[in-house]
Structure 1
Amino acid sequence: MYAITIREAGEPHVMEWREVPTPEPGPGEVAVDVTAAGVNRADVAQRQGSYPPPEGASELLGLECSGTIAEVGADVTGWRPGDAVCALLAGGGYAERVIVPVTQLLPIPTGVDPVDAAGLPEVVCTVWSNIVREAGLERGQLLLVHGGSGGIGTCAIQLGRALGAEVVATAGGGPGLRLCEELGAEPAVDYREQDFVAEVKRLGGANVILDNMGGSYLDRNLSALAADGHLAVIGMQGGRKAELDMGKMLMKRLRMSALGLRGRPLEGPHGKAAIVSDVRQRVWPMIERGEVRPVVHHRLPMREAARAHELMEAGGVHGKILLTTG
């Protein structure tokens, strides 16, 4: 089979489309012939050398894909060759075939294009595990989503609204703001020109904040939270370090979590299997009803993965970039 490999850590040109050994499924695994793979910022960080894969995971890039089951391993039930699926991965999606633990498989939701489905598993599982399973977002509460026009953000806005929450989102520039508003953010705040803290406090403060910035937003996020609010940090685009004002947290009884998805164990209460099962039961019906949909910025052939990374690093990507094998 062919896959995108990395010669060495560096710029996008270090990625190559070349022939590699075809993997075989083991017990509890399936082999999926890949239709498309989603591009995530974690892929960029891995290519740059700052985000190595977890122990035992594929060295290839790609944390989500769609495709067709080609082969099932021993002890696999409920799935068979030919089934159309999408999958959450710890790596390996930038390839013609990938091995997936059966507990990380999802059926392609009814009404969703098989290519577009590649942009669902990583973002939906990330958003759901953080704003619902961890932060406990409820109907009538206020959710603040940073980076609202990106892949994670567009999903979070829609999911928050589908749950009955009010949603405020930050984005930069007109097209991104308009997209956030179209998806249900009221208001969408231009982080370049507006003070998101003032906007959120005007609405009574956020009950949950989904933050992709990290260090540079920490103090402002704490200020924007309502009493008993929860800050869920999922990224460090604004830096790894910041000074934490414990006084703000104590006075307002705030909580903060910093939870990644890729390195979680397969099983257990915080494992990927439980998250995927929860998503299939509770979020897939929302998608099939049209309340949540994948937002796709661009499709590119997988052999042009370097171009996809260039687009992501340049900014201005609204929704997901997908790499197709066809």
Structure 2
Amino acid sequence: MIDFRYHLVSIVAIFLALAVGIVLGTTLLQEPAIDLARRTSAELTNTNNGLRADLDTLRGREAGNDTFITGVTPELVAGGLAGQRVLLVETPGSSTSVRESVQQVLTQAGAQISGRVTLTEKFLDPKGTGVLDGLVNQLKPANMMFPTTATPWDRTATLLSAAFVTTDQTQMGTPNPATTDVVSAFETGGLLTTDGDPLKRATLAVMFAPEKPYEGETGEGQAGALVSMANGLDAAGMGTVLAGSVITTTTSGDPITALRDDSEISKRVSSVDTVDMPAGRVVIVYSLREQLAGRAGQYGMGKGASAAAPALPTPTPSPTTESGS
């Protein structure tokens, strides 16, 4: 019969063996484990430092490129929009500083800025489409017709665009007598504000997309409303460009993505998604020139862009005289 003393000795022996194993295991594995951790940490540190150096190099190159493009912009755009008037349209969430930079480049291209229209959040509120319809029905000229499929924003865009832009160069710089009360009514309703004299109609328009896409359940509808407005301006004038910055995430609340996803509207309205870069502001001028020629394109680096910029017309070589002739 095994007595208690034997049990006690056995248990002590087991724990002693376990303790010795732990000590031996820790002693034997400690150095290799520590060495591996040190090597891994050193490799990660070197990789991180290399990536930081690459990033600094890319930032330096980008800054140098931006400085160069800014310096030659007046030559790149000189005379490109001479004789044209351009309407600027800001939207909820768009950048004032970007708009100011674009305005400067448009002026360098010879364009006159007719004025600025700023759409409000109330304008984009899906719950307010009844108000928009009411104003349109009240203020539209008798001969203004809408497609049966037109949304409230489509109809609103058609009416407002008639007050801001024209396809007739002889009417450029003059108000539209058929829409004299339209803009003031929308301003009174808190749907938009104006600056300058946008009622003296322009031939071209640049609309600025928000810096961040619209979010939530209404985001897609708000983006669609801006696409409707851009489409209306394009139809009533000689061309429209929707300008913004590259959106890195896929979202239905980005107006530029919504425009490019619309196979019909994207055939008529251009977009540029590099407006935050000096090169992108030059591309806006080239896109407006392309619009004047009856063409459209989607330019930049984001989803749906077909090229970085429109193809420049090939200059016609001047005739040369061969030596001896």
Which of the two has greater strand per residue?
A: 1
- By percentage of residues, which structure has more helix? 2
Q: TM-score, normalised by structure 2?
A: 0.31
Instruction: Give TM-score scaled by structure 1 length.
Output: 0.31
Q: Which of the two has higher C-alpha Rg?
A: 2
